[in-house]
Amino acid sequence: MAVPCRRCSKEVLRPERCVVLDGKPCAACTEDIELENEIKELENMIEKIHMKRRALRTVMNTNHDFVHKFPPEIASQIFFQCAPSSTSLEMMSPLMFGGVCQGWRRLAWATPELWSTLVIGFGSTKSKDYSYLPQLVAEWLERSVSLPLTLTVVAEQPSFPGDDLYHELTTILNKHSARWFDVHFGIPGPHLHRLCGSSQESMVRRLALVPPTRSFQNRTPGVFPAFSMKHKPSPTTLTLATFRLTCIDILWNNLTGVVMRDMGVDECIEVIRRVPLLEHLELLWTKSSSDIFPIPDARLSCSQLRLLGLSDIKRETWIEQFLDSVRFPSLESWVYDECALPLENIMEFIENSTFCLKTFTIIGDVHEHVHAVLRPLSSLEVLDVRFRFPSVRPITNLEGNELLELLCSPDESQSFLPRLHSLIFSSTFPFPWRFLSRIFACRRSLRVKITYNNSRSYHHMTTELADELSELVDEGFDLTVIEDGRVVIPR
């Protein structure tokens, strides 16, 4: 049998009791016992030195660390200001303060503001061990004392990390449900019902229910997860994705902002009916009617709505159904992003509306008729256009682009968008730089901002062009050019 050498093991390699010399240990064993005792004494001495050194380092930190020189309430604020805005168990978190020294650890542990935000994310790496998580989350939330909580729990895989862990985590979270304030739950649908909270009154104000995308790919037809707390929450902002509206048990009267993703057009209309104070509505990937709620024959009036966002609605009939069923007399800001409805229908909706739109963001391949859509919007103050101009090379003149022609025409400057004060061009496109001097000649007070990606643009800014644009800035025109996230004009 192989015996490990001294380098591999600290076990004594001699018999437990040597009785070679008339019942007494041999000379070698006697010397080895003496050496072992010396080693133990030295190890005890080293441990005492380490303890003394740790105490000295605490004193050193107190003498040299500026944090210890402040009163605890100020030092706590320094920690709070230095903490990352998104606090995650996996990334930088208040735990990093505790790893510096005992003084920092005590101070961080006693600063509840550091522990009032928590992000728990489950990636797709199934080999990762999360057994430590429940205890850590419990301690984390206890340190937040009585502060309102911002919680995010998201998972990429519907079957990972497992039922037992979800059960433990939701049990811990439910104990603190009276302090849920801003919560984002992205856990698999079958576990959503576990987030039932407690019987204490709910203070939830921002609620997001966005399940993992893959959790609905193979779900049982007709089976939808439900969210219902023991004390019904009354949020002011709500984000829903994929869930059925009938499965969400909340109070709707206090809502002012709603984001709905991948939900039926009838459910989108039903939200307008349920939420009398709605001011902000965003619809993304709206799909065909779920046939749960009736499509109204008469238009529903949403009198408080100020901002409307329509994004990636791929079927013309779905968006047409929605716009034909509602009216927004107080609408001020509208985002129209890559939707299927032709601009002619948008024009009809605008003409039949009484709102005074102030901000309009339009995204997509819509350059041909966009000027006709904008013409009746005399109240418009901010225009953000993100589309590719018709030429694959830089435009040197404005022929064929009615929008630019109208913006640069002295005759139209008083009738076409007369209140416009901010013009924004974004995304990647062969931008017609030469038109800027003409537009400023007609609209001297206009603020123009251009953002583009140089690596994907058809036209790179030359030194000559940069000089020309800088001259416009020197003349007092309000021009900003951002290239790859960096401001290049003004220099």
pLDDT > 90 in the chain, percent: 39
Question: Model confidence over 216-260: pLDDT tens digits?
Answer: 444 444 557 889 999 999 999 999 998 889 999 999 999 999 999
Chain segment 1-49, per-residue pLDDT in tens: 444 455 555 555 656 677 667 777 888 888 888 888 899 999 999 999 9
Alpha-carbon distance 468 to 463, whole Å?
9
pLDDT digits (tens, 9 = 90+) for 202-216: 999 999 999 876 544
Tell me what pLDDT residue 190 has.
82
Task: Say what the pLDDT of residue 105 is.
Answer: 78
**CB-based contact 356:378 (threshold 8 Å):** no
427 residue type, one letter: S
Residue 164 located in a structural domain: no
Alpha-carbon dihedral sign for residues 101, 104, 106, 109: negative
* 369: nearest Cα among 387, 394, 382: 387
Which residue, of 36, 64, 92, is where some domain finishes? 64
Is 466 part of any domain?
A: yes
145 near 178, Cβ under 8 Å? no
Residue 48 falls inside a structural domain:
yes
| Residue 289 counted as domain residue | no
- Domain-embedded: residue 101: no
The structural domain count of the chain equals: 2
pTM: 0.79
**363-407: per-residue pLDDT in tens?**
887 666 788 889 999 999 999 988 765 554 444 444 447 888 888
Confidence of residue 311 (pLDDT cuts 50, 70, 90): very high
Integer Cα distance of 432 and 438 in angstroms: 11
What is the average per-residue pLDDT within 476-480? 93
Instruction: Enumerate residues 6+ apart whose C-beta is below 8 A from 453.
Output: 427, 428, 483, 484
Q: Could you tell me if residue 269 is inside a domain? A: no
User: Does 307 fall in a domain?
Assistant: no
Q: Which of 2-11, 330-339, 443-452 has the lowest mean pLDDT?
A: 2-11
What one-letter code names the amino acid at 73?
A: E
Instruction: Specify whether the CB–CB gap between 70 and 77 falls below 8 A.
Output: no
- Residue 144 belongs to a domain: no
CA distance 30 to 36: 10
SS (H, E, C) 52-108: HHHHHHHHHHHHHCHHHHCCHHHHHHHHHHHCCCCCECCCCCCHHHHCCCHHHHHHH
Of 162, 204, 211, give the one whose Cα is nearest residue 186: 211
The residue range of the domain holding 366 is: 358-491
pLDDT of residue 399: 47
* Residue that finishes a domain, picked among 64, 88, 123: 64
* Confidence check: pLDDT of 341 > 60: yes
Query: Quick one: pLDDT at residue 392?
Result: 43
Token pair of 154 as six digits: 């998201």
